[in-house]
Amino acid sequence: MPRFAANLTYLFTEVPMLDRPDWAARCGFDGVEVLFPYDQPMAEWERALNGAPLALINTPPGDWASGDRGFAAVPGMELRFRDSFLRAADYATRLQAGRVHVMAGVAKGPQAELCYTENLAWALAEAPALTLSIEPLNPDDMPGYFLNDYDQAARILDDIANPRVGIQFDLWHAARLHGDAGAVWDEHRHRINHVQIAGFPARTEPGGGGFSLPDLCDAIDAHCPEVWISGEYRPAKGTAQGLGWLTALKSRGALIGG
């Protein structure tokens, strides 16, 4: 059965960040992910996680309010990227994060793609124990973001040709970018190393949008059991009250396994 993570940036916002891992465990999640853990010291995260798996973190984005969305594809910001990546690598190593999502930043054009490819290759060499991911993001939610197409992401990965970096498949962004998230999954699933789910089109609790979550679970269970499925959505009401999707998918897996 696939492992399910709670995205603590989106879920359990009813309580302080460092209380959220415990809530996630009590509500049936197998682990957690957090977009930007850097506001809390690593020692406090270790206590809060209390042994719970940390599936993924992002590289620091820079000044979010000023429009920064990472630096990996931004020409001229190579030193800023490397500093931010090393900070992420420290957190990921200490907290045993399964993936580090390398944020590309706001950029465009061939020079940006070359910069991104070179920075990813540098990061893979600099942190040989870490697994990395890259995520195409839709331009409505992330205006100007460099990586905004799954075929583009596949081309970059093919150029790098390193199995320690893969695509982060976000059901919401895939549907916004390409219309048919199922077709995106079918085309690129051999490159995917992390999955995030949400309902479409409202980005609330997972389900709908013509995408079968049971089929997704079956595919991951059969072909890539190391891949986490993370709930990254905005709860329609309280987080705990909207976890019927998690109960249903885990119960289904338990029945199949039994």
| Residue 232 annotated to the active site | yes
Choice among 135, 187, 205, 226 that is catalytic? 135
The edge-to-edge listing of strands for the beta sheet with 165-170 is 31-33, 3-7, 228-231, 192-197, 165-170, 132-134, 99-101, 56-58
**Lookup result for tokens 């789910």:** 197
Please, are residues 68 and 85 in contact by the beta-carbon 8 Å criterion? no
* Three-state SS letters, 99-150: EEECCECECCCHHHHHHHHHHHHHHHHHCCCCCEEECCCCCCCCCCECCCCH
| Six token digits for residue 166 | 């893969």
| Residue 126 annotated to the active site | no
Indicate the burial class of 179 (C-beta count within 10 angstroms; 0-12, 13-18, 19 or more). exposed
| Six token digits for residue 245 | 């999707």
Q: How many CB atoms lie within 10 A of CB 73?
A: 31
At 140, the amino acid letter reads: D
Please, are residues 130 and 91 in contact by the beta-carbon 8 Å criterion? no
Residues annotated as part of the active site: 135, 232
